[in-house]
């Protein structure tokens, strides 16, 4: 190990914690199309959203300010784990024999092991400030639910989570984590809501989906004036809260004299990807750098690469406003791949808009290639990634191997947005040769797209 390099870890002092979130919207050549009321097909106003969200978050959702101050109470909590470290992946580079330099921003150091508390903490804060007593939400594998349960416990809010049935049955540890933080967790579909009862009537053994769990959580919050609803991805304010990732990463790369040539992130609803890339898109639009920006999604749930760009519901029962986004159709139920956080039928309107503007590109990768990449990463870098960012790592490895062929010394940046220590069942499935790639069915896609509401252009 005589050639052991000097610097693996690039840290920022606590006093370099970002004090503002970045809103990419005012820097774009055109704003994203607004959410529409499903009845009137007119843009939704603050009053339409007020039953679910506090005014501070509604203002952020529609804001045209470039920067929004992070409340000091939120900064104080961020400092429990932020600024997060960035690592140079020397071990992985050496194993690949690539001249590329690979950097990863590690969000797994947060209290729940992912980037999600970057937004659950401010969401709980603004709700508590507005006098809300209880927050409802959905969760798939449980990363978002545990992040919101953690944040609610800090601000004395009740937290009620509808968890996708398949994960509730198969992955008890995240549920136990949510309950330990004081949340109540229901298997979705549940008999507690009209939406849930409808899906249970169709199939009493229903294994659920994120879209159904959203319907249940929204329904309960809309009916209780003391309750609010929190969403872990997709919305503008969520992506904005995540920009602390990219702001820190910009500074960390600059501190070692690097400018990225390629930035890669995994996309489920688009929040860790937006959080990492938006500050770099700002720098790109200002002419200070020109990285390729690449989203990576699962082959089994390819909303950007195979979905259509149109108005659709954010949930399955059709209770949310219509969002202009890349969608597979709100009825689409993706195959049960291990990356539960990437199994959502739509994509953030903001990410979808950037894709339409040509400011980023997207690819999809099957899960066996992703886990092969993750195992190579674990054996060379020492961290077992969450199933979701294995997609980004597989794309990094593809790009690094291409550099090996061409001899290009590209600088590659990615977000390792969570660790996989509560997802070891997925690794067991891979390690024992049982993991399969799920074929995507164009027929299922066509059927799901047929139910998307028709909105005149
Ligand atoms: C929730 C989650 C995702 C998917 O959500 P995005 O909004 O696309 O980031 C990805 N990775 C991890 C670790 C998650 O918890």
pLDDT in tens, 41-86: 999 999 999 999 999 999 999 999 999 999 999 999 999 999 999 9
Candidates 106, 115, 265, 423: which one to mutate for ligand 1, based on the most atoms within 8 Å of Cβ?
Answer: 115
| Residue 297 Cβ contacting ligand 1 at under 6 Å | no
Q: With a 6 A CB cut-off, is 267 part of the ligand 1 pocket?
A: yes
- Between CA 338 and CA 436 the distance in angstroms is 10
Tell me the C-alpha distance between 94 and 79, whole Å.
Answer: 33
> Roughly how many angstroms between the first and final C-alpha of the chain, as a whole number?
62
Check if 108 has its Cβ closer than 6 Å to any atom of ligand 1: no
Question: Ligand 1, closest atom to CA 268?
Answer: 8
State the pLDDT at residue 441.
86
Distance CA 162, CA 156 (A): 20
- What is the average per-residue pLDDT within 246-260? 97
Helices (H), 108-234: 117-129, 143-155, 165-170, 172-180, 194-202, 210-223
Instruction: Assign 333 a pLDDT band (cuts: 50, 70, 90).
Output: confident
Name the band, by pLDDT with cuts 50, 70 and 90, for residue 1.
very low
Gap from CA of 270 to ligand 1 centroid (Å): 8
Query: 70 near 82, Cβ under 8 Å?
Result: no
User: Is 287's pLDDT higher than 70?
Assistant: yes
Distance CA 46, CA 54 (A): 10
- In 236-366, alpha helices (H): 236-241, 243-255, 271-285, 303-306, 349-356
Q: Tell me, using a 6 A CB cutoff, whether residue 215 lines ligand 1.
A: no
Give the pLDDT confidence of 154-204 residue by residue, as tens digits: 999 999 999 999 999 988 999 999 999 999 999 999 999 999 999 999 999
Enumerate residues 6+ apart whose C-beta is below 8 A from 181: 146, 149, 150, 152, 153, 159
Q: Whose CA is nearest to atom 7 of ligand 1?
A: 271
pTM above 0.85, yes or no: yes
Give the mutation target among 267, 269, 370 for probing the ligand 1 site: most ligand atoms within 8 A of CB.
269
Question: What is the chain's Cα-based Rg?
Answer: 21
Query: 5 falls in which pLDDT band (50, 70, 90)?
Result: low
Domains of the chain: 9-18+70-113+237-449 (3.40.50.1100), 22-69+116-233 (3.40.50.1100)
Question: Of residues 454 and 138, which shows the higher confidence score?
Answer: 138
Percent of the chain residues past pLDDT 70, beyond the cut: 99
Nearest atom of ligand 1 to the alpha carbon of 234: 7
Centre of ligand 1 from the C-alpha of residue 214, in Å: 16
pLDDT by residue (tens digit) across 85-104? Answer: 999 999 999 999 999 999 99
Note the pLDDT tens digit of each residue in 336-363. 888 888 989 999 999 999 999 999 999 9
Is the per-residue pLDDT at 3 higher than 60?
no
Tell me, using a 6 A CB cutoff, whether residue 386 lines ligand 1: yes
Asked whether residue 239 carries a pLDDT value surpassing 80, the answer given is yes
CA distances (Å), origin 397, targets 12, 82, 102, 337, 371? 26, 27, 9, 21, 12
Q: How much distance in Å is there from the Cα of 424 to the middle of ligand 1?
A: 17
Ligand 1, from 107, 114, 178, 270: best to mutate by most atoms within 8 Å of Cβ? 114
Average pLDDT, the chain: 95
The predicted pLDDT at position 6 comes to 58
Residue whose Cα lies nearest atom 15 of ligand 1: it is: 143
Question: Is 272 a pocket residue for ligand 1 (Cβ < 6 Å)?
Answer: yes
Is the CB of 106 inside a 6 Å radius of any atom of ligand 1? no
334 three-class SS: coil
């Amino acid at each position: 190990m005589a050639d052991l390099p000097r610097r693996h870890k690039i840290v920022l002092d606590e006093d370099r914690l970002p004090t503002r979130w970045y809103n990419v919207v005012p820097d774009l050549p055109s704003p994203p199309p607004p959410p529409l009321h499903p009845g009137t097909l007119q843009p939704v106003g603050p009053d339409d959203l007020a039953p679910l969200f506090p005014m501070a978050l509604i203002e952020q959702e529609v804001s045209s300010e470039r920067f929004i101050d992070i409340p000091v109470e939120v900064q104080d909590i961020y400092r429990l784990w932020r600024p997060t470290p960035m690592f140079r992946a020397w071990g992985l580079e050496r194993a690949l024999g690539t001249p590329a330099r690979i950097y990863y921003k590690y969000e797994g150091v947060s209290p729940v092991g992912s980037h999600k508390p970057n937004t659950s903490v401010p969401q709980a804060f603004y709700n508590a400030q507005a006098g809300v007593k209880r927050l409802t939400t959905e969760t798939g594998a449980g990363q978002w639910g545990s992040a919101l349960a953690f944040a609610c416990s800090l601000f004395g809010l009740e937290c009620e989570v509808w968890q996708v049935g398949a994960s509730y049955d198969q992955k008890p540890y995240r549920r136990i984590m949510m309950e330990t933080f004081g949340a109540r967790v229901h298997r979705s579909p549940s008999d507690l809501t009209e939406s849930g009862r409808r899906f249970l009537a169709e199939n009493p053994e229903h294994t659920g989906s994120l879209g159904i769990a959203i319907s249940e959580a929204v329904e309960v919050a809309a009916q209780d004036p003391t309750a609010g609803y929190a969403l872990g991805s997709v919305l503008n304010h969520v992506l904005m809260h995540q920009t602390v990732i990219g702001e820190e990463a910009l500074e960390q790369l600059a501190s070692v004299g690097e400018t990225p040539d390629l930035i890669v992130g995994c996309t489920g609803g688009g929040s860790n990807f937006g959080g990492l890339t938006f500050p770099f898109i700002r720098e790109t639009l200002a002419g200070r750098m020109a990285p390729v920006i690449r989203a990576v999604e699962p082959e089994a749930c390819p909303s950007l690469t195979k979905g259509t760009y149109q108005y659709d519901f954010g949930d399955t029962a059709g209770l949310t406003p219509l969002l202009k986004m890349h969608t597979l159709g709100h009825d689409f139920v993706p195959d049960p791949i291990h990356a539960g956080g990437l199994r959502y039928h739509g994509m953030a309107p903001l990410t979808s808009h950037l894709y339409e503007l040509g400011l980023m590109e997207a690819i999809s990768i099957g899960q066996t290639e992703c886990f092969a990449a993750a195992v190579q990463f674990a054996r060379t870098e020492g961290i077992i990634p969450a199933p979701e960012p294995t997609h980004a790592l597989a794309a990094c490895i593809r790009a690094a191997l291409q550099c090996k062929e061409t001899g290009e010394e590209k600088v590659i940046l990615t977000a390792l947005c969570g660790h996989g220590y509560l997802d070891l069942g997925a690794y067991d499935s891979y390690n024992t040769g049982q993991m399969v790639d799920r074929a995507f069915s164009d027929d299922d896609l066509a059927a799901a797209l047929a139910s998307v509401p028709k909105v005149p252009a």
